[in-house]
Structure 1
Amino acid sequence: MRHTFTILLAGFACGLLSGTAAASSEMDAIAKYRELLADGNPSELVAAQGEELWKTKRGPQQASLERCDLGLGPGVIKGAYAKMPRYFKDTGRVQDLESRLMTCMENLQGIEPKSIVDGKFLKGEREKVAALVAYVVTESNGARIDVDMRHPEMKKMYEMGKMAFYFRAGPMDFSCATCHGEEGKRIRMQDLPDLRTQKGAAAGWGSWPAYRVSNGEFWTMQHRLNDCFRQQRLPEPIYGSDVTIALSVYLAATAKGGTMLTPGIKR
């Protein structure tokens, strides 16, 4: 009996070692895959298109976006994204980068927000907004995440975003926290940062917008958040809606002090 138990115990130990070795091998393969991804980011091409769009006179008013104020003064792009979302006095609301770009496009160029809100991701004017986003976020790469939470509207949006993060709904009873409320989770070859923590939020918020290798597309933060709603089997939020901006405020505020590594590159 003792001999049989020893054999079983030895077999169990071998199985554990084998499983550990397999897991280690898998992690090595994932690390290699990520290393290969980092060697050349196609977002640079999208950002170049965005820079051209920024300087091109377009719309009914035939104007460029070179006087667009992203919070640091007309035309100032360097470091602007690292301080967004933020409260804008001229609109009287909290805006993320995409909703702010829509304001500039409407006021400076005469391009109606409806053509963007009612559009499809990476189609028409939304595709142009995505390119502009790539250009702007590139100019904050390496900057410290530093959103200003002093305004009451920012505090209100933070609370709304936190509520949305934990809100469970849909046929699968998922919330954002289902995937991003615990350490060490991963889907296939993509780590899922714990967005409740400063470290996790900095890793998550700080690396989006990003280029998605799996579908060969540059995704803005609005696009990313909408895909989270899709995975929860919930209706797609309206583009530029308060709920997506509120979630962005919650993430950016939690990530404060981290480093922007944008545009990121994802599986």
Structure 2
Amino acid sequence: MKQAVVYRSAFVALALTLGAGAASAQGNATLDGIAKYREMLQDGNPAELFEMKGEELWKQKRGPKAATLEQCDLGKGPGVLKGAFTELPRYFKDTGKVMDLETRLIHCMVTLQGFDSAELYKAAPSIGKGEGANLVAITTYVATASKGLRFNLPNNTEQEKAMYEVGKRLFFQRSGPHDFSCSSCHGMEGGRIRLQDLPNLTKNPGDGIGFAAWPAYRVSNSQMWTMQKRLNDCYRQQRFPEPKFGSDATIALGVYMGVNSKGAESIVPAIKR
């Protein structure tokens, strides 16, 4: 009888070991499949079309003032694009605010081209039409100019430090009908929802991951998403009310994730499932 129990225990242990091995092998096969899928997507990324449109809009005389955006100061001097994206959001003395790329571009469209600020902020969430689509394209063009560079957000002024702390608190704040927070999905190692990896954004997630991958083209809905859109959708998935475009909340979260991404290489424009 004792011998039978020993055999049975040994069989169970062997079965568990083989099952774990099979699960591990299946997991590795799944990861390999995802990697190949993403590699295939990168060939002919439609984001290039948005980049081209953005370049045309950057150089085109538009708005009531019939001016281009070529003198827009994104933090490195008028018209300097290379390296600007990887240092945003940041504090701007001329506005007295910490601004991300999208809100800074709206500022330039208002001051240089004469567009109405309220109308631009109203149009911005409609990423597929009108000035909302134009803003997405310009954002993609400017961000792409820093592809391959490494994030190095300034975090020196009182305003930047305050926004970092606000972003950190928002990242860990649990609320809503499901008691979710940003950290529920992005506060641990090895997380995943279905085929989507969930990087740990409480620290530097690495090259081309998290903050270093947006704007990105979403294959599932054939849209180009900027960081503002990505954050708003995260709030939607948490069943939170979506923040207003360009809100201090989204910019603070951008500061928190951007500072944490120091040294990570930008792969923008990326492509997502």
What TM-score comes out, normalization by structure 2 length?
0.93
**Residue in 1 aligned with 2:157?**
151
How far apart, in 2, do the equivalents of 1:264 and 1:34 lie? 10
How far apart, in 2, do the equivalents of 1:257 and 1:13 lie? 40
SS in 2 for 1:218: strand
How far apart, in 2, do the equivalents of 1:79 and 1:97 lie? 12
Task: Give yes or no for contact 2:167–2:254 (8 Å, CA) kept in 1.
Answer: yes
**Residue in 1 aligned with 2:101?**
97
Deviation at 1:85, TM superposition (A): 0.8
Deviation at 1:95, TM superposition (A): 0.4
How far apart, in 1, do the equivalents of 2:194 and 2:250 lie? 26
Q: 2:47 aligns with which of 34, 43, 48?
A: 43
Alignment of 1:109-188 (within 5 A): 109-119=113-123, 120-188=126-194
Deviation at 1:257, TM superposition (A): 1.6
Deviation at 1:248, TM superposition (A): 0.4
Deviation at 1:144, TM superposition (A): 1.6
Task: Give yes or no for contact 1:145–1:259 (8 Å, CA) kept in 2.
Answer: yes
Deviation at 1:41, TM superposition (A): 1.6
Greater shift, 105-114 or 193-202, is seen at 193-202
Greater shift, 195-204 or 61-70, is seen at 195-204
- Alignment RMSD (CA, Å): 1.5
SS in 1 for 2:23: helix
Deviation at 1:97, TM superposition (A): 0.3
SS in 2 for 1:118: helix
Task: Give yes or no for contact 2:207–2:265 (8 Å, CA) kept in 1.
Answer: no
What one-letter code is carried by the residue in structure 2 that aligns with 1:158? Y
Alignment pair present for 1:248 and 2:254: yes
**Residue in 2 aligned with 1:192?**
198
Q: 1:214 aligns with which of 217, 220, 230?
A: 220
**Residue in 2 aligned with 1:20?**
24
How far apart, in 2, do the equivalents of 1:72 and 1:12 lie? 59
Greater shift, 110-119 or 46-55, is seen at 110-119
SS in 2 for 1:186: strand
Task: Give yes or no for contact 1:194–1:201 (8 Å, CA) kept in 2.
Answer: no
Deviation at 1:232, TM superposition (A): 0.8
**Residue in 2 aligned with 1:257?**
263
Unmatched runs of 5 consecutive residues or more in structure 1: none
Task: Give yes or no for contact 1:193–1:201 (8 Å, CA) kept in 2.
Answer: no
**Residue in 1 aligned with 2:84?**
80
Task: Give yes or no for contact 2:208–2:267 (8 Å, CA) kept in 1.
Answer: no
Deviation at 1:110, TM superposition (A): 1.2
How far apart, in 2, do the equivalents of 1:35 and 1:55 lie? 32
How far apart, in 2, do the equivalents of 1:26 and 1:11 lie? 22
Alignment pair present for 1:62 and 2:66: yes
How far apart, in 1, do the equivalents of 2:262 and 2:231 lie? 19
Alignment pair present for 1:233 and 2:232: no
Distance 1:232 1:99, change over 3 A: same
Deviation at 1:201, TM superposition (A): 8.7
How far apart, in 2, do the equivalents of 1:38 and 1:212 lie? 12
Unmatched runs of 5 consecutive residues or more in structure 2: none
What one-letter code is carried by the residue in structure 1 that aligns with 2:156? R
Distance 1:174 1:200, change over 3 A: farther
Distance 1:6 1:146, change over 3 A: closer
SS in 2 for 1:191: strand
| Equivalent pairs, count | 267
Task: Give yes or no for contact 2:218–2:272 (8 Å, CA) kept in 1.
Answer: yes
Task: Give yes or no for contact 2:51–2:141 (8 Å, CA) kept in 1.
Answer: yes
Deviation at 1:89, TM superposition (A): 0.8
Aligned-pair identity in percent equals 51
Deviation at 1:11, TM superposition (A): 3.1
